[in-house]
Amino acid sequence: MAGEGSAQERLDKIAGIIATDLVAEVCSIYVLRAGEVLELFTATGLKPTAVHNTRLQMGEGLVGTIAANARPMALSDAQSHPKFAYRPETGEEIYHSLMGVPILRGGRVQGVLAVQNRTQRHYTDEEAETLETVAMVIAELIAAGELISAEELHAVEGASLLPVTVAGVRLNAGVAMGEAVLHEPRFVIEELVSDNPEEEQQRLKEAVDEMHGAIDAMLQATDVANGGEHRDILETYRMFAEDAGWLARIGEAIDSGLTAEAAVEKVHNDTRARFRNQRDPYLRERLHDLEDLANRLLQHLTGTEGDGVGAEWELPENIILVARNMGPAQLLDYDRTRLRGLVLEEGSATTHVAIVARALDIPVIGRATDLLDNVEPGDIVIVDADEAEAHIRPAEDVQQAFTETLRARAQRVAAYAELRNVPAETKDGVTVSLNLNAGLFADLQSLDETGADGIGLFRTEIPFMESSKYPDVDRQSALYERVLDLSDGKPVVFRTLDIGGDKSLPYWSSFDEENPAMGWRAIRVALDQPVLIRHQFRALIRAAGDRDLSLMFPMITEVSEFDAARALLDRELERAEKRNRPLPKQVHVGTMLEVPALAFQFDALLERVDFISVGSNDLFQFLFASDRGSPRIADRYDALSPAGLSFLGGLARRCDDAETPIGLCGEMAGRPLDAMALIGVGFRSLSMAPSSIGPVKTMIRSLNYGDISRYIQTLQSMPVHSHREKLREFAIDHGVVI
Ligand code: PEP
Ligand code: MG
């Protein structure tokens, strides 16, 4: 490749050498040109006039098929293959066997390298490997822009870089536009070939040793007391890292003349190409493991391991972070003022990073299939989390439309900020208490920004999830104290640990359950392992000092569970008293209402609780027997259905009669139309994500309570699927801003 002559001459020479070395009568090289056309650029053994004249579309003939699938092909009887396309100008009819490999660079096809023989030859795997190694070198020759012009090269890249929309699931609502930053950037390998394989093998060996050492250190550093997910992941890494086949293939690639880096990249390219069309989630997952590992090994080879995220790169002003998956702390390493959105190839709503991203109020899309295969660093990306779609390299007009959407949103946000100090009061004077759902210190900042009345739900499991080991009483109490300090006298309702089910902790051994949401979670765990909740009570009592303390229990199913939890709290209060510790001025103890059965012991419950908070996310999944995490049935049942509204209305009425405060802290509280219905059936307290306070307050201030309350009563007896449309019409007719 580095020889004398023009690029064309060097290409001709390469083809000649391959033909001789592999004892093939033909060696042809096709280069992908603008418009997704494969052009024959050189051909030892074919008619010279065919060169630059024979052209194939992607998917056409055997060569086009190799390019389209990005996979090698070796056929002893090529002419009998259904994809064989006869091109008389080449004179190839006399050749029977064919072996071809894609020319790949950065996982993209740039052309095809093929050899042919007259006889029905069986090509060996080693011969295919040799061809692939040469293909990698040719890819660099093409990329250098000497064979086809730099502009055309760009156009070719453009051809395979058309706008793409990848769909996923919404993990946090919102819209953002910016430049893609790959959380784990691909490496650019500068030196491809080496004439000192021994030295390269030695470099590889050292890097592999270093990598093993680093993985072992991580394993040791992981708190192993209870096993845990993190450790499993690292164990899998180590297993792959020691995979003899993988390392042997890298070693072979070095022997064929590549540098250690190029060899790692080559083996990885092959794997990627082979997995490209793999839909099996397990196998795709394994590919990701290998991808991580190849990256790690490259980091050790290039001495860039342990570099801080983006520390020395030029990061764009508007970052759309793209990753397979990442930890919450890694997200917080990025400059928050530039972070606009996050797209993950994996991830679910309860993934830790999604929870942190929600606190940062950036739109997040998860489970965006094929994301990493489609996005390049620096690509413009629109994250439309509302529609659960990411538009990669969107066309100019699409960008413009989104710029407009963003501008309109920004105006709305500014208008909401002005509402900060005005009351959430309907036109006929009914006041609604608006509170925040929180789980991080970052959320507490929003208390002041939004003018919310307090924290209606502090999910204490989030700090537990973020920590790598069980936070002891001291750590918990410092954390709760800080929460109370930052809330500056506004009430905070702490919810005791809601772990188990799908919310796993790294240091907590979880076990498989068929229906984890209905399994061993929340108060069920706490009552079986009382030390856990007693520590939490102790920490909360200590943190409160002589201030008020409000707490509630998740997933209470029957009154006896409330009594048992309350008894444990009383024991901790007595303990503090005996030790002459300050006691909270007042202790308010409530319960979440998330399990329908509890509503059938309502009178007994009302005698015991200071307040009730409806967790509609869980409540509705149990009421409708409809998994809250399943996208397939996400829209099947509606909270604003006759059953949903009459259930909620009944609760509100009974609490009103008993003068027990009731609020709702599920996701529906933050949606203006749903909030309007909740107010209509009698709710006076709602708790929601910070970004929902403005829109819900705006709705309330444009609503007349008397009207909605009367209207909703007329709806209740109708046996329809949902009242949503009727309520929307009501809002439009009555000028309610939803
Ligand atoms: C709920 O179930 O509505 C709720 C607020 O709790 P979580 O979403 O944390 O389960
Ligand atoms: Mg819940």
- Quick one: pLDDT at residue 159? 44
Residue ID of nearest Cα to ligand 1 atom 3: 615
Which atom of ligand 1 is nearest the CA belonging to 554?
A: 6
**How many other CB atoms are there within 10 angstroms of residue 94's CB atom?**
10
Ligand 1 atom, smallest distance to 617 CA: 3
- Is 391 one of the catalytic residues? no
Residue with tokens 């520590």: 535
Mutate to test the pocket of ligand 1, among 461, 465, 592, 678 (most ligand atoms within 8 A of CB): 592
Alpha carbon of 628 to ligand 2 centroid (Å): 10
* Predicted pLDDT of residue 352: 61
- pLDDT exceeds 70 at position 235: no
Ligand 2 centroid to residue 580 C-alpha, Å? 36
Q: What is the mean pLDDT of the chain?
A: 86
- Kindly indicate the confidence band of residue 310, based on its pLDDT and cuts at 50, 70 and 90: very low
Amino acid identity at 89:
E
Measured in angstroms, how far is the CA atom of residue 578 from the centroid of ligand 1?
35
Q: Reply yes or no on whether 655 is catalytic.
A: no
Question: Secondary structure of the chain: what % helix, strand, coil (to 5)?
Answer: 50, 15, 35
Per-residue confidence (pLDDT) for residue 409, from 0 to 100:
80
Are residues 656 and 730 in contact, defined by beta-carbon separation less than 8 angstroms? Answer: no
- Going from the Cα of 399 to the center of ligand 2, the distance in angstroms, rounded, reads 38
Task: Find the length of the chain.
Answer: 738
What is the model's pLDDT at position 142? Answer: 87
Higher pLDDT, residue 683 or 394? 683
Burial pattern 140-159, b for ≥16 Cβ within 10 A else e, equals: bbbeeeebbeeebbeebbee
Which atom belonging to ligand 1 lies closest to the Cα atom of 498?
9
C-alpha to C-alpha distance for 581 and 585, rounded to whole angstroms:
12
Residue nearest to atom 6 of ligand 1 (CA): 615
**pLDDT-based confidence at residue 233 (cuts at 50, 70, 90):** low
Confidence category of residue 500, pLDDT binned at 50, 70, 90: confident
How confident is the model at residue 228, as a pLDDT?
47
350 CB less than 6 Å from ligand 1? no
The pLDDT assigned to 557 comes to: 98
What is the β-pairing status of strands 685-688 and 433-438?
parallel
Whether residue 432 is predicted with pLDDT greater than 50 in this model: the reply is: yes
Q: What is the DSSP string of 438-505?
A: E-SHHHHHHHHHHT-SEEEEEETHHHHHHSSS---HHHHHHHHHHHHHHTTTS-EEEEP---BTTB--
Task: Tell how far the Cα of 619 is from the centroid of ligand 2, in angstroms.
Answer: 7
Mean pLDDT of the 706-731 span: 94
Calculate mean pLDDT across residues 591-603: 98
Residues 630 and 710 sit within 8 Å (Cβ to Cβ): no
What pLDDT score was predicted for residue 732? 97
Residue 309 has pLDDT above 60, yes or no: no
> Buried (b) or exposed (e) across 222-250, using 16+ Cβ within 10 A?
beeeebbebbeebeebbebbeeeebbebb
pLDDT at position 186, please? 56
Of all ligands present, the nearest one to the C-alpha of 613 is: 1
Q: From the alpha carbon of 615, which atom of ligand 1 is closest? A: 3
| C-beta 680 within 6 A of ligand 1 | no
Q: Which residue has the higher pLDDT, 247 or 219?
A: 247
* Closest to 609 in 3D by CA, of 665, 639, 651: 651
> Does the pLDDT at position 658 exceed 80?
yes
Residue with tokens 């894609």: 102
**Ligand 1 closest atom vs CA 594:** 2
- pLDDT tens digits for 97-123? 999 999 987 667 889 999 999 999 999
Q: Which of 183, 352, 391, 535 is catalytic?
A: 352
How confident is residue 672, by pLDDT bands cut at 50, 70 and 90?
Answer: very high
Query: For ligand 1, is residue 461 a contact (CB within 6 Å)?
Result: no
pLDDT at 311: 37
By alpha-carbon position, which residue is closest to atom 1 of ligand 1? 615
Site to probe by mutation for ligand 1, drawn from 461, 618, 627, 647 as the one with most ligand atoms within 8 Å of Cβ, is 618
Identify the band that residue 230 occupies on the pLDDT scale cut at 50, 70 and 90: very low
pLDDT tens for residues 77-90? 998 898 888 888 88
Best mutation site among 437, 443, 617, 647 for ligand 1 pocket (most ligand atoms within 8 Å of CB): 617
Task: Please give the pLDDT value at position 231.
Answer: 57
Choice among 325-334, 340-349, 620-629 with the minimum mean pLDDT: 325-334
- 690 C-beta closer than 6 A to ligand 1: no
Task: Indicate the top mutation candidate among 350, 436, 459, 687 to test ligand 1's pocket, ranked by most ligand atoms within 8 A of CB.
Answer: 459
Give 364-421 pLDDT, tens digit per residue. 999 898 788 778 888 899 999 988 899 998 877 788 888 888 888 888 788 888 899 9
Kind of pairing between the strands at 169-172 and 55-57: unpaired
CB 29 within 8 A of CB 11: yes
Bridge partner residues of 110 (DSSP): none
Atom of ligand 1 nearest to the CA of 459: 9
**Which one from 183, 230, 268, 665 is the annotated catalytic residue?**
665
Regarding the beta carbon of 615 and ligand 1, being less than 6 Å apart is answered yes
Higher-confidence residue of 129 and 467: namely 129
Q: Which domains does the chain have, with CATH numbers?
A: 7-156 (3.30.450.40), 164-396 (3.50.30.10), 425-438+616-664+666-738 (3.20.20.60), 460-590 (3.20.20.60)
735/208 Cα distance (integer angstroms): 67
The pLDDT tens digits for 519-551 are 999 999 999 989 999 999 999 999 999 999 999
Average pLDDT (174-202) is 84
Distance 204 CA to ligand 1 centre (A): 50
Of 173-187, 192-206, 626-640, the range with the highest mean pLDDT is 192-206
Does the Cβ of 617 fall within 6 Å of ligand 1? yes
Token pair, residue 565, equals 């939890």
Residue nearest to atom 4 of ligand 1 (CA): 615
Looking from the CA of 40 toward its CB, the CA atoms found within 13 Å total 25
* Window from 9-13, 123-127, 343-347 with minimum mean pLDDT: 343-347
pLDDT at 224: 42
- pLDDT band at residue 680 under the 50/70/90 scheme: very high
Q: How confident is the model at residue 285 (pLDDT cuts 50, 70, 90)?
A: low
**For position 137, what pLDDT does the model report?**
85
Q: Which atom of ligand 1 is nearest to the CA of 667?
A: 3
State the distance from the centre of ligand 1 to the C-alpha of 614, rounded, in angstroms. 9
Share of the chain above pLDDT 90, in %: 52
Cβ proximity of 336 and 361 under 8 Å: no
DSSP code of residue 386:
T
